[in-house]
Structure 1
Amino acid sequence: MATKKKKPSKPRSKAGPKTWWQSLRRWVVRAALAVVAVFTVWVLVYSVVPVYATPYMLAERWRHGELDNRWTPIDDIAPVMARSAVAAEDANFCRHWGFDMSAIRDAIAEGGQRGASTISQQVTKNAFLWQGRSWPRKAMEAALTPAVELVWSKQRIIEVYLNIAEFDTGVFGVAAAAEHYYGVSASDLTASQAARLAVVLPNPKQRSPKSLSPTLMRRAAQVEDGAETIRRDGRAACFED
């Protein structure tokens, strides 16, 4: 009886550089889509849920042991506080979509000696990202800010901003700051007190609204005037009822 000859088996092909690169590319694409999905859900959730903690707040809690932070709805914050923050940090807040192009052009013209971050950018950085000036963080901020502007109302942006901004070491949010510095609730802040708190925002660890330098006192007076100006000319309409 004749024996059947076995067909020679085909040699197994080894995964070459092309196959390895395709696998890596698929993994990178999937990871990127997962990151996008996480941030999309995160932005949507924070559009309605109080922001009780941020990456920076958690880092500060780890360093100092405890924080003073109390979420306060925008309706329970003196309107002049929101206007003062906008006057001090982003006077065109109601007129841009997350980036103030005129401020950016001015900053470039002055050689980067002045800041151009809007309140929307600051909220995005503080709520979702880490501190610092690294390019990855700036790139993520630039990508996330339009999403925040698209999903959140302007009133929601300023509400979150006032609740997560740092006003002193371990003191976050305007309610905690009002009690910490003045012994009053956020709803009872005066125009002068609100302006002083707004002046503290760029450098809260080095400034106190109760002991401002003459230069910062003049700046606080300008902010107080600016808050009234944006009320009169309509630049506060987008975040006020």
Structure 2
Amino acid sequence: MVDEPDAPPPHDTNDAPRPARRRSRTAAPAEGGSEKVAPVKKASAKKASPRKSGARKASKAPPRAGTWALRAAKAIGLAAAGLVVVFVALTMIFAVVRPPTTPYMLAESVRQGGVRHTWVPMDRIAPAMALSAVAAEDANFCRHWGLDLDAIRTAIDSRLGGASTISQQVVKNVFLWHGRNWARKSLEAVMTPVVELFWSKRRILEVYLNVAEFDTGVFGVEAAAQHYFGRSAADLTNRQAALLAAILPNPKERSPVDPSAFVNRRANAIADGAATIRGTARASCFM
């Protein structure tokens, strides 16, 4: 029997050299080793959250119509509040200080290059003039709080103009503008009770007699007395006072020195009315 050569031993795959493995950064160090492994750094950049990015985009969008309307309403409200404050402040000041001018007087001064106007206190105005003005323009002056509701109802029922009290005319002359329109009349109706609250009836009549127009460019009873009769307001006679009251509220088309038949009749009625209310409750608030 022939002996066969010895076969080589089978190849042990476990003995073959293996490539070195890359040590993981997170792998634990060998026992007893001092090697320190740096922690894995996370990305520092943070992505914007969809909510924040959407909010930024929304902020760049133009405001809606409702936003503009709300802003406009707030602006109008602030402006109105400011005007109310100014009006109340002026009303309180003019209760003791004479108004330097009026919007209408200022406009006429610019248009004509000047006006005639001299302020006089109530005690330098003839009592007949005060009585005649009340008899002509507002017989219930001492009985109402600025608005004569009975006269307003009568004017509405008869579809005639007028029915403005002396207090309303003062508000129109001192604070507002002339002209027939509902905007002015509405403001006048709201503002008149405020003036009545801060001013006495005597003060209201005093201001009225000093700012009323008696001819083109002639304002106030002192300038009117000098212009028509060559005397001061303190020296007016009963007839002269009645004639001056008779040309109101249309002095540019009426004359107290060359009175028409209408002005004469009106002056006679005013003189009778002034005599009637003298010494009664209708004159107690200003005499």
- Normalising by the smaller structure, the TM-score range is over 0.9
SS in structure 2 of the partner of residue 218 of structure 1: helix
Contact 1:165-1:174 at 8 Å conserved across structures: yes
Does 1 or 2 have the higher relative contact order (CA < 8 Å, sep 6+)?
1
Q: CA deviation at 1:41?
A: 0.9
Q: CA deviation at 1:66?
A: 1.1
Letter in 2 for 1:149: E
Distance in structure 2 (CA, Å) of the matches to 1:22 and 1:219: 55
From 11, 14, 35, the counterpart of 2:55: 11
1:24-173 alignment, distance < 5 Å: 24-112=72-160, 114-173=161-220
Q: CA deviation at 1:218?
A: 1.2
Letter in 2 for 1:90: D
Distance in structure 2 (CA, Å) of the matches to 1:21 and 1:176: 51
1:162-241 alignment, distance < 5 Å: 162-240=209-287
Letter in 2 for 1:201: L
Shift >3 Å, 4+ stretches: none
Contact 1:51-1:164 at 8 Å conserved across structures: no
Contact 2:168-2:192 at 8 Å conserved across structures: yes
Q: CA deviation at 1:29?
A: 1.3
Letter in 2 for 1:204: P
| TM-score relative to the length of structure 1 | 0.95
Q: C-alpha offsets along residues 59-112 of structure 1, whole Å, 9 cap, x if unaligned?
A: 000111111100100011001101100000000000001111111111122122
Pick the structure with more helix per residue: 1
Q: CA deviation at 1:43?
A: 1.0
Letter in 1 for 2:163: A
Contact 1:52-1:71 at 8 Å conserved across structures: no
SS in structure 2 of the partner of residue 167 of structure 1: strand
Q: CA deviation at 1:202?
A: 1.1
Q: C-alpha offsets along residues 3-56 of structure 1, whole Å, 9 cap, x if unaligned?
A: 133223343334333332322222111111111111111111111111231000
- 1:2 corresponding residue in structure 2: 42
Gaps spanning 5+ residues in structure 1: where? Answer: none
Contact 2:254-2:263 at 8 Å conserved across structures: no
Gaps spanning 5+ residues in structure 2: where? Answer: 1-40
Report percent identity of matched pairs.
56
Count of residues in correspondence between the two structures: 239
Rg bigger for which structure?
A: 2
SS in structure 2 of the partner of residue 238 of structure 1: coil
| TM-score relative to the length of structure 2 | 0.80
